[in-house]
Structure 1
Amino acid sequence: MIIAYKYEILLTAILIVLLVIVGQLIKVAIRKFTILKSIDLNRRKIILKLHYLILYLLFVIFIVIIWGVDFKDFTVFISSILAVLGVGFFAQWSILSNLTASVILFFNHPVRIGHRIRVIDKDYDWVGTVEDISGFFLFMKTDKGEYITIPNSIVLQHGIEILGNADDDIG
């Protein structure tokens, strides 16, 4: 039985070795690039995770090709998974909006960890330092010593005034 699949087993083993080698090369390249561009550690981790996600998706596609899974069956499986995820994200639209907002904050928004900011809101006067930006929340320590978590979608919906870096003497 194993002899009948020796070609597929050999190609799978080669693909696993390539996955490990390419994964290490990507890790080294991202580390050098982020150090060269002065990208902070949290953003470096996110970039690395996104590259690993793409690499693993390609790995799964090649495994499917090697083992000869019927394309029609595979597309039905993928479309079913995507339909379930779509319904789940639609039901939890705030999760999807926060994830989308985190991508926008990561790539296009000038707010960075360590910046002193003011959240422009009619109900609250939040002024403080950005402690962390995760996939769902911006974490901020106010000048009053309070720790506040603000959903990323709210950060995009409200105005943010950047007052400077935490090291600046802007007060």
Structure 2
Amino acid sequence: MYEVFSLYRTEISYTVVTVFVLLIVQFLLKKAAHRVGKRSEINFTRTKLMFKYINILILFIAFFLLAIAWGMGLTELSLIFSSVFAVIGVALFAIWSILSNITSGVILFFSFPYKIGDKIKIHDKDLPIEAIIEDIKAFHLHLRTLEGELITYPNNLILQKAVSLVEKDVYLDEDKSSL
């Protein structure tokens, strides 16, 4: 055991430092996402989704740094990453709307001015929608119309259409009136 440690001392110490630093960065990023979610009154399930994205990002960074630490050259690493991204790129080109909706979900997390319970109007010339936001997911919004119909609206479309606030916190107002 001592021979292994003495042989790979620099790699092991670099691994320990890298893991420690990345855990601190992950903690800080999650704390920042939690703070943004709390300040913006974002539903905690949406904040947990951001935590998953942060975990994936940290894993990619960890793989890259540890591969370099253990002797994988930049040529081999760039070959692996370019191959993986080429395959992912071809696959995602076939299903680009999923990537678009995930990206839109991240944008909505940080900058969507409407909350769950707000009554909004989507100004679409083909299909105008007036509904209450029931839930905001990674790929879509759940909207409940005044007639009780549930509409699943893609995140990428909500960023492309004009949206106006009709009434704020409709669910909360109904809950208060029943007390």
TM-score by length of 2: 0.74
Residue among 155, 158, 161 paired with 1:158:
161
Q: For residues 27 and 105 of structure 1, what CA distance do their matches in structure 2 show?
A: 17
The answer to whether the 8 A contact 1:105-1:111 is kept is: no
Q: Which one of 103, 120, 123 corresponds to residue 120 of structure 1?
A: 123
Higher relative contact order (CA 8 A, sep 6+): 2
> Out of 69, 85, 88, which is 1:85 matched to?
88
Change (3 A) 1:89 1:13: same
Pairwise CA RMSD: 2.9
Structure 2 match to 1:145: 148
2:144–2:151 CA contact under 8 A, matched in 1: yes
Matched residue of 1:114: which SS? coil
Q: Which amino acid aligns with 1:147?
A: L
Give the fraction of aligned pairs with identical amino acids, expressed as a percent.
Answer: 35
Structure 1 residues 129 and 20, CA, compared in 2 at 3 Å: closer, same or farther?
same
Match of 2:72 in 1: 69
Q: 1:77 to 1:17 in 2, by over 3 A?
A: same
Distance 1:142 1:160, change over 3 A: same
Aligned length: 169
Moved more, 102-111 or 54-63: 102-111
The range that moved more, 75-84 or 29-38, is 29-38
Q: TM-score, normalised by structure 1?
A: 0.77
Give the counterpart letter for 2:51 in structure 1. L
Identify unmatched segments of 5+ residues in structure 2: 175-179
The Cα shift of 1:63 comes to 0.4
Q: Which runs of 5+ in 1 are unaligned?
A: none
Q: Is the 8 A contact 2:50 2:106 kept in 1?
A: no
Deviation at 1:125, TM superposition (A): 4.9
**Is this contact kept in 2: 1:113–1:130, CA < 8 A?**
yes
